[in-house]
Amino acid sequence: MGSANTGPDFEVLIVGAGISGINAAYRIQHELAGSPSYAVLEARSNVGGTWDLFNYPGIRSDSDIASFCFPWAPWSGSDYLGQGRDIQRYMDQAVHDAGIADHIRFHHKVTAADWNSKHNYWHVSIHNTTTGQSTSMTSRFLVVGTGYYNYDEPLTTTIPGIDDFAGRVVHPQFWPEDLDYSGKNVVVIGSGATAITLLPSMAAKGAGHVTMLQRSPTYLLPLPTTDRAGAILKRFLPVSWASRAQRLYNTLRTTMFYWFCQAFPQRAISILRSLTERLLPEGVSYDPHFKPRYNPWDQRLCVSPGGDFFGALRKGNASVVTDTIEQVTQDSIRLHSGQVLHPDIIVTATGLKICFAGNIAFSVDGGKPITPADKFIWKAAMIQDLPNLFYMLGYTNASWTLGADVTATLIVRMLTRMRKEDKTAVVPRLSGEQMKHMQSKSMFDLSSTYLKKAAGELPRGGTGQWEPRTHYLKDLYRVKWGDIDSGLECW
């Protein structure tokens, strides 16, 4: 542990070896001059974060893989979306190729972090998930790349009578390796990206019948399985050039479609309805099963690679039921319409439980842990009143990696400038008057149920320097060349 004489153990500690943490490690290692000392602390035994945790059937990205992969490690395949195990292997290879692997310390779960104002560094409390021992490290800067949801607990949803069900109840976040659903009737409760992924995958892998039971539908966008534009670019350009062009092209296309949906919601609804009706089998109606109650991109669009969801419906061993649950019994699910389902297995794909920074307790000089919802977040990256702390957030309307890389770019610029000016600490501040008049905004501009429930878990966005991120190119410009003085104290 560091002391006043020796300084902190590391210049930078990165919490989490998922997409956000690994990308930040690369930027710090390769773009920050002077070979900064850093370590990546990971609670699990592998890199990957989400992609190491989830192993339910069909797990894949729901953003195009060209913008989801690291900008410094091109994706070698021709897929439009990436499969979960392929993404995990890709990340493992990337950390070894980039020389990051030796800096990762597995089974190191960060439980608390206290800022020491006397010495200007973080004192980080660590629990070893293998030995059970508690240790600590010190670091000048702390980068938190833990994502936005709880790895240990799923979102709690009240399903009347679910405890009485005699069959198997499974949550996708904790998919059991021994689950045999061959020939079984499966009911997947939910209508989000996980449910949309599970239905076609389980139907194709031997389930007797898969029913997606939804309270309300979501918009479904069929996408190609291969990235044809990327394939053309790779045919004529070097891999690194083609990868950059493909990333930019896909990012712009996604952004333009998002803007279109926001500006012309009725036209967007008409287009999505036309695409859906074209793929539906006879006897399955658009209304109510595929007619959401909201406009496109008020919640995140779900995607169907190659129209696999609709293909499963056409084959006849999958179906959609739009209704609400009255009661789960030992061997059935009774719905308010009077319909009764008889599953062997129930999968509760009801969403993620949001939490801030992996529930790490942050404090200053041994004081009470901060309440994140009481704080604003500067440039969607630094938490009000917490010095030298960067929180990695991605996008909800584009790939997560793009947003995380915006923060990583800001970190490099900020640390480079502080070194040049011989500063050791920087902290976002708001006066009482500023707090009084600041307009509070959600960090995630979507109406999904699990995000609404997170209102009391995450810091708030505001206006000006405290504005939440909106669009990648604008946000990247702001962190590379924009104002990084206003709203900060530096010493």
Q: For the segment 263-285, what is each residue's pLDDT rounded down to a tens digit?
A: 999 999 999 999 999 999 998 99
Structural contact between residues 25 and 97, judged by C-beta atoms closer than 8 angstroms = no
Which CATH code is given to the segment(s) 162-348?
3.50.50.60
pLDDT of 299 above 90: no
Provide mean pLDDT across the span 21-30.
Answer: 96
Q: CA-based angle 36:40:45, to the nearest 5?
A: 155
Q: Which residue has the higher pLDDT, 111 or 456?
A: 111
Q: Quick one: what percent of the chain has pLDDT higher than 70? A: 97
Provide mean pLDDT across the span 426-433.
Answer: 92
pLDDT of 120 above 60: yes
pLDDT tens, residue by residue, 153-202: 887 788 999 999 999 999 999 999 999 999 999 999 999 999 999 999 99
Q: Among residues 315, 314, 316, 261, which one has the least CA distance to residue 292?
A: 261
pLDDT of 450 above 60: no
pLDDT of 121 above 70: yes
pLDDT tens, residue by residue, 65-79: 999 999 999 998 888
pLDDT of 4 above 60: no
pTM of the predicted model, to two decimals?
A: 0.93
Structural contact between residues 16 and 394, judged by C-beta atoms closer than 8 angstroms = no
pLDDT of 1 above 80: no
pLDDT tens, residue by residue, 361-374: 999 999 999 998 89
pLDDT of 307 above 80: yes
pLDDT of 102 above 80: yes
pLDDT of 23 above 80: yes
**Confidence class of residue 443 from pLDDT cuts 50, 70 and 90?**
confident
Q: How far apart are CA 22 and CA 94, in angstroms?
A: 9
pLDDT tens, residue by residue, 247-266: 999 999 999 999 999 999 99
**Confidence class of residue 449 from pLDDT cuts 50, 70 and 90?**
low
| Range in 107-116, 382-391, 398-407 the model is least confident about | 398-407
Mean per-residue pLDDT over the chain, rounded: 92
Q: Which residues pair with 392 in a beta bridge?
A: none
Give the pLDDT of residue 454.
60
Residue 133, CA distances (Å) to 129, 144, 191, 352 in order: 8, 22, 41, 29
pLDDT of 2 above 60: no
**Tokens 């953003």 -> residue:** 63
pLDDT tens, residue by residue, 126-141: 999 999 999 999 999 9
Give the pLDDT of residue 447.
55
Provide mean pLDDT across the span 312-318.
Answer: 95
Provide mean pLDDT across the span 461-481.
Answer: 91
What is the helix (H) or strand (E) element at residue 274, kind and residue range?
A: helix 265-279
pLDDT of 13 above 90: yes
Q: Which residue has the higher pLDDT, 236 or 38?
A: 38
Q: Which residue has the higher pLDDT, 316 or 153?
A: 316
| Range in 206-215, 321-330, 452-461 the model is least confident about | 452-461
Which CATH code is given to the segment(s) 10-152+353-490?
3.50.50.60
Q: Report H helices in 32-151.
A: 50-53, 65-68, 84-97
Give the pLDDT of residue 117.
96
pLDDT of 455 above 70: no
pLDDT of 350 above 60: yes
Q: Name the pairing type of β-strands 134-144 and 121-128.
A: antiparallel
**DSSP-derived 3-state class of residue 33:** coil
Residues of the chain with CATH 3.50.50.60: 10-152+353-490, 162-348
Q: Which residue has the higher pLDDT, 424 or 299?
A: 424
* Strands annotated E in 248-379: 302-305, 318-322, 325-328, 333-335, 340-341, 345-348, 361-364, 377-378
Give the pLDDT of residue 416.
95
Q: What share of the chain is helix, strand, coil (3-state, %, to 5)?
A: 35, 25, 45
